[in-house]
Chains A and B, each alone.
Chain A
Amino acid sequence: MTVSEQTKVGQNYVDGLRERFGAAILDAEWQTADQVTVTIKLGSLPDVVEWLYYKQGGWLSVLFGNDERPLNGHFAVYYVLSMEGIVKSWVVVRALVEEHRPEFPSVTPRVPAAVWGEREIRDMYGLVPVGLPDERRLVLPDDWPDDLHPLRKDAMAYNQRPAPTSDSETYTFVNDATGSTRDVPLGPLHITSDEPGHFRLFVDGEDIVDADYRMFYVHRGMEKLAETRMGYDEVTFLSDRVCGICGFTHSVAYSSAVENALGLVVPPRAQAIRSVFLEVERLHSHLLNLGLASHFVGFDTGFMQFFRVREKAMTMAELLTGARKTYGMNLIGGVRRDIMKAERTRTLALVAELRVEVTQLVDMLLSTPNLRQRTAGVGILDKKVARDFSPVGPLVRASGFKRDVRADHVYAGYASLPFDVHTEDSCDVLGRVLIRAREFFDSLSIIEYALDNLPAGPVLLEGFHYRPHQFALGFAEAPRGEDIHWAMTGDNQKLYRWRCRAPTYANWPPLRYMLRGNTVSDAPLIVASIDPCYSCTDRVTLVDVKKNKSTTVPYKEIERYGRERKDSPLK
C-alpha cells in the first residue's frame, strides 16, 4: 500500500532509529498508515528492539521467523512492537538471516518478553538465537528429529510427521530455587481434554518456591496447514477455530491482516458489526470467567448462577450470527451477515436483562467474604515483571498498565465507540476479577451504542484484486488480551506465511513469577486468573525442595484443595 508522507504515523520512531543507529537501519516501509516495517542489520537486533521497547514505550506483541529463501535468498526474523508511547503505532523490526549461517543474536537477555518467540523460531526454522539462556525446545516434542524444522518451505507436507520414537519425556523443568531437588520421573500424560499441559511446582512445605510448565502437547500445526493446504480466503474459517472462546476475535485479526496487506477499505457498517460481534463474544467469556472465579473460591452456587445467565449471551450470539459460537461471520472485506431490525430489538432486550441480572450476581460475588479473602494479595504480577514480559488483557491492566488494543490501535469500529480502559493497581487475582466484571458492563454499553448508531451501507467489499507477497498485521482484543496475526500473501491465492498469536501465549511466561511465594492451595486460582483453557493444567507435579520428594497429583485434587483448603495432598 502506498501511504502518503503526511499520514505516516510512527515516523518519529523511524527518525529516532535512523538518528541513533544510522547505517544499521536499512529500510523502512509502511504497510498501513500506522504500520511500518523497518529492516535492520542483524547484529543490531537486540539494541534496536531494546531501545524501542524500554526507551520509546514499546511492547513486544509477537515475534516470528519466515523462510524467505524463495523470495530473497534469506531467512527473516520479525519482532512486532506495539508502540504505546506518545505516538501509538506499530513498528515491526525485521532482519535477514543468511541461509548458510542460520543464527541471530538473541534479544531475550535484553527484553525477556522475547523468550518464547525465540525458542519457537529455533524449533520451527532451525535459526539459533545466540545468547538465549533457555536452550530447551518450546513447541516440538523431545523425540522430534534435530534437523527437521516444520515451517521451512522445503521441510515437509502439512499432513506428515515423523513417527514418535519414545514414550517418555526428556524435557528438563527449570527450578531457580537454591535448595537441591531431585529429577522427577514422569508417567505418560493423562490427557482428558484438548489442551493438556504439564505443571511442576517446586515447593517447600506448602509454599511455592518456583514453578515451571510445558505446553504444546497438542500443537495443531495450523500455520503450516494454512500455508500449504488452504486458500487465503478459507483461512478466515480456520482462524475461527483457533479458540473455542475468542474464535471470532481471531478471525477479525486474521481478516484485517489480509485487508491491511492488500490495502482494502472495509465498509464502515461491516466494521461496526464486527465490533458488535466482538463484544458479544467478550460477554460470554467474561461471564464464564466470573463463574469460574466463584467456583475456585468455593462458591459453586455463584458458578451455577453465572452460567445460567451466560445462556442469554449465547442466545444473543445465536440470534446475531446463526450459531452459539460467533463462528463463520468474516470474509476478507467484511462480514457475511447484516443485523436486521428484529434482531436488533431482541438483542437490546437481552442486553437490558443481562445488565440487571449480572449486576445482582456481581454484587453477590463481591460481597462473598471468601472472594476477597482468597484473592486479595494472591498471585501478584509485579509491575516490573509485567513491563518485562508484555502480558496482555486484564492481566496487564490489573498491574496498572493501560493497555487495550481497542483503544491503542485502530481496527473494526472501535474508533467511534465510547468505552473506558479499566486498570487496577493491586496486581493480584482480585484486581483481574474486578476488571473483568467492569469490562462486562462496558461490553453491554458498547453493543447498545453500536446498534443505535450503525452506519448505513454495504457489509462487504467486493471486487478487489489479490496481490501476492503483501503483508501486514491484524489484531483484535479478546476477553483475555489481544490476538495478533501477521499474514503474507503468496502465489496461488495461498498464504506465504501466517503467524497467529493468542493472548495466553503472551501470558504464560510471567505466570511463573506470579506463582512464586504463594501457597499450593492458591495455585489453581492464580492459573485461573489468566483464564487459560482449563485443560491446560491437566496434572501437577509437586517437588518438595526440602524433603527432596516428588508427588504427582491429579489437577482435580489440587483444585479441590484450593476450594476446601483441608486434607493437603502434600501430606
Chain B
Amino acid sequence: MLKLFKIIADAGEATAKYPFAPFPVSPGFRGKPELDATQCIACAACTTACPANALTMDNDTATGIRTWQLHLGRCIFCGRCEEVCPTHAIVLTPTFELAVANKDDLLQKASFRLQDCSACGRPFAPAREIDYAMALLRQSGVAVDEARRAEFACCPACKRAATVARDAVSQHLSPEAEQ
C-alpha cells in the first residue's frame, strides 16, 4: 500500500493543461498536410502517390480548369504526398486539431489553369507545369526563351503528328529510306 502511495506522490500531476495550453508534438510529427498553391504546378504526382485517395485531381476541359482537392477526412497522414512533390508545395505540418463543425470544411481545393495546345487549341496540361519545364531546362543551361513557348505548349498528340509529318517528308527525301 505504502509503495503505491509513493508512486502516486512521485507521479505528481499527470494531466496536461491542453486545450488551455498548447500541446507540443515531437519534431517530425506528421499532421495536417498544407498546400502552398503558389509553389504547386498541379502535376498530380501527389494524387497518384496518395494511398488513401485523399488527394484527387479533376480536369474540366470546358472551362480549362484543373482542380486539386484534399479531403482531410480521408487523409491518413502518411506524408507520401510530401515525399513525391517535385516543388515542395505540399508539406505535413504539426497541426493536429482537425475537428470541424461542418463536414464540407474538410475538403480543400485549389484551381489551376490548363494550357490550351498551341496547335489544336485543346487544354492538355497545367500552365504552371509548362513554366516549370521551361524553368528546369533554363536552369540546366539550355537556352529556352519565351519565343519558344509555343513549342512547349503543344500537346503530345499534336507533337506526335508534327513529328510523323516531318519524318515522313525526311524519309521520302533520304536515299536510305528508298532502299
Contact partner of B29 (CB less than 8 A), chosen from A236, A322, A367, is: A322
Interface residue tally on A, bucketed by range:
20 to 34
- In the complex, chain A residues whose CB is within 8 Å of the CB of B29: 318, 322-323
Report B75-111 CB contacts with A as 1/0, cut-off 8 Å: 0111110010000000000000000000000000000
A200-208, A356-364, A402-410, A560-568: which lies at the interface: A356-364
A335 nearest CB across to chain B (Å): 13
B26 at the interface (CB under 8 A from A): yes
- In the complex, chain B residues whose CB is within 8 Å of the CB of A242: none
- In the complex, chain B residues whose CB is within 8 Å of the CB of A319: 26, 28
- In the complex, chain B residues whose CB is within 8 Å of the CB of A240: 76
A308 at the interface (CB under 8 A from B): yes
B76 touching A318 by the CB < 8 A rule? no
A308 touching B76 by the CB < 8 A rule? no
Chain A residues 284-332 with CB under 8 Å of chain B are 301-302, 305, 308, 311, 315, 318-319, 322-323, 327-328
B30 touching A305 by the CB < 8 A rule? no
- In the complex, chain B residues whose CB is within 8 Å of the CB of A361: 7
B7 touching A364 by the CB < 8 A rule? yes
B4 touching A364 by the CB < 8 A rule? yes
B133 at the interface (CB under 8 A from A): no
A327 to B29, CA, bound (A): 12
B77 touching A328 by the CB < 8 A rule? yes
A318 touching B26 by the CB < 8 A rule? yes
B25 at the interface (CB under 8 A from A): yes
A446 at the interface (CB under 8 A from B): no
With A318-B25, A328-B30 known as contacts, the answer to whether A237 contacts B78 (CB < 8 A) is: yes
Which secondary structure characterizes the binding site on chain B? loop
A305 to B30, CA, bound (A): 28
Contact partner of B76 (CB less than 8 A), chosen from A230, A237, A302, A363, is: A237
- In the complex, chain B residues whose CB is within 8 Å of the CB of A328: 30, 76-79
B8 touching A363 by the CB < 8 A rule? no
B53 nearest CB across to chain A (Å): 9
Chain A residues 356-385 with CB under 8 Å of chain B are 360-361, 363-364, 367
A336 at the interface (CB under 8 A from B): yes
Which secondary structure characterizes the binding site on chain A? helix
- In the complex, chain A residues whose CB is within 8 Å of the CB of B136: none
A143 at the interface (CB under 8 A from B): no
B76 touching A305 by the CB < 8 A rule? no
Contact partner of A234 (CB less than 8 A), chosen from B11, B26, B51, B83, is: B51
Q: Which residue of B lies closest to A329 (CB)?
A: B78
B172 at the interface (CB under 8 A from A): no
B8 touching A238 by the CB < 8 A rule? no
Interface centre among A238, A240, A308, A322 (most CB of B within 10 A): A322
Report A328-343 CB contacts with B as 1/0, cut-off 8 Å: 1000000011000000
B51 touching A237 by the CB < 8 A rule? yes
With A327-B76, A328-B78 known as contacts, the answer to whether A322 contacts B30 (CB < 8 A) is: yes
A364 to B25, CA, bound (A): 31
- In the complex, chain B residues whose CB is within 8 Å of the CB of A311: 14
Q: Which residue of B lies closest to A346 (CB)?
A: B26
A319 to B28, CA, bound (A): 7
B80 nearest CB across to chain A (Å): 8
Chain A residues 233-282 with CB under 8 Å of chain B are 234, 236-238, 240-241
Q: Which residue of A lies closest to B16 (CB)?
A: A311
B76 touching A301 by the CB < 8 A rule? no
- In the complex, chain B residues whose CB is within 8 Å of the CB of A364: 3-4, 7
B97 nearest CB across to chain A (Å): 15
B52 at the interface (CB under 8 A from A): yes
Chain B residues 1-57 with CB under 8 Å of chain A are 3-4, 7-8, 11, 14, 25-26, 28-30, 51-52
- In the complex, chain A residues whose CB is within 8 Å of the CB of B3: 360, 363-364, 367
B52 touching A237 by the CB < 8 A rule? yes
A311 to B23, CA, bound (A): 14
A301 touching B28 by the CB < 8 A rule? no
A508 to B55, CA, bound (A): 39
A305 touching B26 by the CB < 8 A rule? no
A230 touching B11 by the CB < 8 A rule? no
A360 to B28, CA, bound (A): 32
Q: Which residue of B lies closest to A236 (CB)?
A: B51
A402 to B103, CA, bound (A): 51
- In the complex, chain A residues whose CB is within 8 Å of the CB of B76: 237, 240-241, 327-328
Q: Which residue of B lies closest to A360 (CB)?
A: B7
B51 touching A308 by the CB < 8 A rule? no
Contact partner of B51 (CB less than 8 A), chosen from A230, A301, A318, A363, is: A230
Binding site for B on A (CB under 8 A): 230-231, 234, 236-238, 240-241, 301-302, 305, 308, 311, 315, 318-319, 322-323, 327-328, 336-337, 360-361, 363-364, 367
Known: A302-B4, A328-B77, A363-B3. 10 other contacts (CB 8 A): A301-B8, A305-B7, A305-B8, A322-B29, A323-B77, A327-B77, A328-B30, A328-B78, A360-B3, A361-B7
Which A-B residue pairs are the 8 nearest by beta carbons? Answer: A234-B51, A328-B78, A237-B51, A322-B30, A319-B26, A318-B26, A322-B28, A308-B14
Q: Write 13 A-B pairs (CB below 8 A) sorted by A numbering.
A: A230-B51, A236-B51, A237-B51, A237-B52, A237-B80, A301-B4, A305-B8, A315-B26, A327-B78, A336-B79, A363-B3, A364-B3, A364-B4
